[in-house]
Amino acid sequence: MSLDGNMRLGVDAAGYTRQKVPKSANYKFTSSALMLNNKPLKMHTASDAQLNSLRSQYGQPGADPGAFWTWLVKVVGKVEKAGIGNCGEVAAVALAYLKAKGVTETLDYVNVLDGQSMNAVVPHVIAVIGRGGDAQQDIGLPSTWSADAVICDPWDRVVYPAKDYDFFWRGLKTHSSSPGTLTCELVVRAP
Protein backbone atom coordinates (compact mmCIF):
# COMPACT_ATOMS: atom_id res chain seq x y z
CA MET A 1 0.00 0.00 0.00
CA SER A 2 1.09 3.60 -0.42
CA LEU A 3 2.08 6.07 2.27
CA ASP A 4 -1.22 7.88 1.70
CA GLY A 5 -3.17 4.63 2.13
CA ASN A 6 -1.29 3.77 5.32
CA MET A 7 -1.91 7.27 6.66
CA ARG A 8 -5.64 6.79 6.08
CA LEU A 9 -5.51 3.45 7.92
CA GLY A 10 -3.66 5.11 10.82
CA VAL A 11 -6.13 7.99 11.11
CA ASP A 12 -9.04 5.55 11.03
CA ALA A 13 -7.44 3.35 13.72
CA ALA A 14 -6.51 6.31 15.95
CA GLY A 15 -10.04 7.72 15.73
CA TYR A 16 -11.61 4.36 16.52
CA THR A 17 -9.22 3.86 19.43
CA ARG A 18 -9.84 7.22 21.09
CA GLN A 19 -13.60 6.63 20.85
CA LYS A 20 -13.27 3.22 22.49
CA VAL A 21 -10.62 4.27 25.02
CA PRO A 22 -11.32 7.87 26.00
CA LYS A 23 -9.64 7.69 29.42
CA SER A 24 -6.01 7.42 30.43
CA ALA A 25 -4.05 7.88 33.62
CA ASN A 26 -1.50 9.94 31.72
CA TYR A 27 -3.08 11.75 28.76
CA LYS A 28 -1.85 14.93 30.48
CA PHE A 29 1.64 14.13 29.18
CA THR A 30 0.65 13.98 25.52
CA SER A 31 1.78 16.73 23.21
CA SER A 32 -1.86 17.38 22.36
CA ALA A 33 -3.52 17.06 25.77
CA LEU A 34 -6.99 18.54 26.11
CA MET A 35 -6.61 20.71 29.19
CA LEU A 36 -8.81 22.97 31.29
CA ASN A 37 -7.13 25.11 33.97
CA ASN A 38 -3.87 23.18 33.40
CA LYS A 39 -5.55 19.84 34.17
CA PRO A 40 -6.65 17.13 31.75
CA LEU A 41 -10.37 17.06 31.12
CA LYS A 42 -12.08 14.83 33.65
CA MET A 43 -13.91 12.99 30.87
CA HIS A 44 -10.51 11.79 29.61
CA THR A 45 -8.90 11.01 32.96
CA ALA A 46 -8.65 7.70 34.79
CA SER A 47 -6.89 7.19 38.09
CA ASP A 48 -3.76 5.11 38.49
CA ALA A 49 -5.84 2.80 40.71
CA GLN A 50 -8.38 2.25 37.91
CA LEU A 51 -5.64 1.49 35.40
CA ASN A 52 -3.80 -0.83 37.78
CA SER A 53 -7.03 -2.67 38.57
CA LEU A 54 -7.63 -3.20 34.86
CA ARG A 55 -4.06 -4.34 34.28
CA SER A 56 -4.33 -6.89 37.11
CA GLN A 57 -6.90 -8.72 34.94
CA TYR A 58 -4.57 -9.24 31.97
CA GLY A 59 -2.52 -12.20 33.12
CA GLN A 60 0.75 -13.01 31.37
CA PRO A 61 1.35 -13.08 27.61
CA GLY A 62 2.54 -16.22 25.90
CA ALA A 63 6.19 -16.51 24.93
CA ASP A 64 5.83 -17.08 21.19
CA PRO A 65 4.43 -14.37 18.86
CA GLY A 66 1.16 -16.21 18.18
CA ALA A 67 0.40 -16.65 21.87
CA PHE A 68 1.42 -13.05 22.58
CA TRP A 69 -0.95 -11.77 19.88
CA THR A 70 -3.80 -13.90 21.24
CA TRP A 71 -3.15 -12.47 24.71
CA LEU A 72 -3.02 -8.92 23.29
CA VAL A 73 -6.43 -9.35 21.63
CA LYS A 74 -7.88 -10.47 25.00
CA VAL A 75 -6.36 -7.37 26.62
CA VAL A 76 -8.02 -5.22 23.93
CA GLY A 77 -11.44 -6.63 24.87
CA LYS A 78 -10.94 -5.67 28.51
CA VAL A 79 -9.56 -2.25 27.61
CA GLU A 80 -12.44 -1.42 25.27
CA LYS A 81 -14.98 -2.53 27.89
CA ALA A 82 -13.36 -0.36 30.58
CA GLY A 83 -12.59 2.56 28.23
CA ILE A 84 -9.23 3.05 29.97
CA GLY A 85 -5.69 2.64 28.73
CA ASN A 86 -2.27 4.18 28.38
CA CYS A 87 0.01 4.01 25.34
CA GLY A 88 0.42 0.21 25.31
CA GLU A 89 -3.28 -0.44 25.56
CA VAL A 90 -4.30 2.07 22.91
CA ALA A 91 -1.61 0.89 20.48
CA ALA A 92 -2.97 -2.65 20.92
CA VAL A 93 -6.54 -1.47 20.28
CA ALA A 94 -5.48 0.28 17.07
CA LEU A 95 -3.65 -2.80 15.76
CA ALA A 96 -6.42 -5.24 16.70
CA TYR A 97 -8.94 -2.96 14.99
CA LEU A 98 -6.91 -2.89 11.77
CA LYS A 99 -6.32 -6.65 11.87
CA ALA A 100 -10.05 -7.29 12.38
CA LYS A 101 -10.77 -5.08 9.35
CA GLY A 102 -8.61 -7.40 7.25
CA VAL A 103 -5.71 -5.00 6.68
CA THR A 104 -2.90 -6.86 4.92
CA GLU A 105 -0.08 -4.38 5.61
CA THR A 106 2.41 -5.39 8.30
CA LEU A 107 1.09 -4.32 11.71
CA ASP A 108 3.69 -4.03 14.47
CA TYR A 109 3.40 -3.38 18.20
CA VAL A 110 6.61 -1.49 19.01
CA ASN A 111 8.34 -0.29 22.19
CA VAL A 112 10.29 2.95 22.08
CA LEU A 113 13.20 2.52 24.46
CA ASP A 114 16.09 4.44 25.87
CA GLY A 115 18.84 3.06 23.63
CA GLN A 116 21.60 3.43 26.20
CA SER A 117 20.06 1.23 28.89
CA MET A 118 17.70 -0.69 26.54
CA ASN A 119 14.95 -0.56 29.08
CA ALA A 120 11.68 1.21 29.20
CA VAL A 121 13.03 4.41 30.70
CA VAL A 122 11.08 6.47 28.23
CA PRO A 123 8.79 4.24 27.89
CA HIS A 124 6.34 4.42 25.02
CA VAL A 125 4.47 1.98 22.79
CA ILE A 126 3.32 2.73 19.25
CA ALA A 127 1.45 0.97 16.48
CA VAL A 128 3.30 0.78 13.16
CA ILE A 129 1.58 0.22 9.82
CA GLY A 130 3.51 -0.98 6.77
CA ARG A 131 7.01 -1.23 8.21
CA GLY A 132 7.67 -4.36 6.20
CA GLY A 133 10.95 -6.16 6.62
CA ASP A 134 11.81 -9.12 8.76
CA ALA A 135 9.78 -9.32 11.95
CA GLN A 136 12.73 -10.83 13.81
CA GLN A 137 15.41 -8.25 13.02
CA ASP A 138 16.37 -5.31 15.21
CA ILE A 139 14.19 -2.55 13.88
CA GLY A 140 16.22 0.44 15.07
CA LEU A 141 14.78 3.84 14.22
CA PRO A 142 11.80 4.68 12.01
CA SER A 143 14.11 6.40 9.52
CA THR A 144 15.30 2.91 8.48
CA TRP A 145 11.81 1.56 7.77
CA SER A 146 9.88 1.37 4.52
CA ALA A 147 9.11 4.72 2.89
CA ASP A 148 5.42 3.82 3.28
CA ALA A 149 5.63 3.09 7.03
CA VAL A 150 3.31 5.05 9.30
CA ILE A 151 3.33 5.52 13.06
CA CYS A 152 -0.10 5.46 14.64
CA ASP A 153 0.07 6.85 18.17
CA PRO A 154 -3.52 7.12 19.45
CA TRP A 155 -2.25 7.98 22.93
CA ASP A 156 -0.67 11.20 21.62
CA ARG A 157 -3.47 11.67 19.06
CA VAL A 158 -1.06 11.68 16.12
CA VAL A 159 -0.49 9.68 12.95
CA TYR A 160 2.56 10.47 10.82
CA PRO A 161 4.98 9.06 8.27
CA ALA A 162 7.69 7.12 10.09
CA LYS A 163 10.39 9.15 8.34
CA ASP A 164 9.14 12.24 10.24
CA TYR A 165 9.47 10.58 13.64
CA ASP A 166 12.13 12.94 15.01
CA PHE A 167 9.77 15.93 15.01
CA PHE A 168 7.08 13.99 16.88
CA TRP A 169 9.47 12.46 19.41
CA ARG A 170 10.59 15.74 20.99
CA GLY A 171 8.28 15.06 23.95
CA LEU A 172 9.62 11.53 24.40
CA LYS A 173 13.16 12.84 24.40
CA THR A 174 12.40 15.13 27.34
CA HIS A 175 11.49 12.06 29.42
CA SER A 176 14.56 10.01 28.44
CA SER A 177 17.77 9.80 30.45
CA SER A 178 19.71 9.74 27.16
CA PRO A 179 17.50 11.43 24.55
CA GLY A 180 19.94 10.96 21.69
CA THR A 181 19.74 7.19 21.96
CA LEU A 182 16.05 6.38 21.58
CA THR A 183 15.50 3.19 19.63
CA CYS A 184 12.68 0.81 18.77
CA GLU A 185 12.06 -2.81 19.67
CA LEU A 186 9.47 -5.01 18.01
CA VAL A 187 7.26 -6.65 20.61
CA VAL A 188 4.97 -8.51 18.23
CA ARG A 189 3.81 -8.42 14.62
CA ALA A 190 0.16 -9.18 13.97
CA PRO A 191 -0.14 -12.64 12.39
pLDDT at 176: 73
pLDDT at 91: 97
Neighbouring-strand partners of residue 145: none
How many other C-beta atoms can be found within 10 angstroms of the C-beta atom of residue 109? Answer: 22
CA distance 49 to 77: 19
Query: What does pLDDT average to in each consecutive run of 10 residues of the chain (191 residues)?
Result: 96 96 71 58 73 92 91 96 94 98 96 70 86 79 93 93 89 74 89 94
pLDDT at 118: 58
How many other C-beta atoms can be found within 10 angstroms of the C-beta atom of residue 45? Answer: 17
Residue ranges per structural domain of the chain:
3-189
pLDDT at 182: 85
Q: Is the pTM of this model over 0.85?
A: yes
Neighbouring-strand partners of residue 39: 36
pLDDT at 24: 84
Report the run of H or E that residue 120 belongs to, with start and end.
strand 119-129
Type of residue numbered 169: W
H-helix segments, the chain: 3-20, 48-55, 65-82, 87-100, 165-168, 170-174
> Closest Cα to residue 187, out of 91, 52, 114, 105?
91
Q: Are 120 and 113 in contact (CB under 8 A)?
A: yes
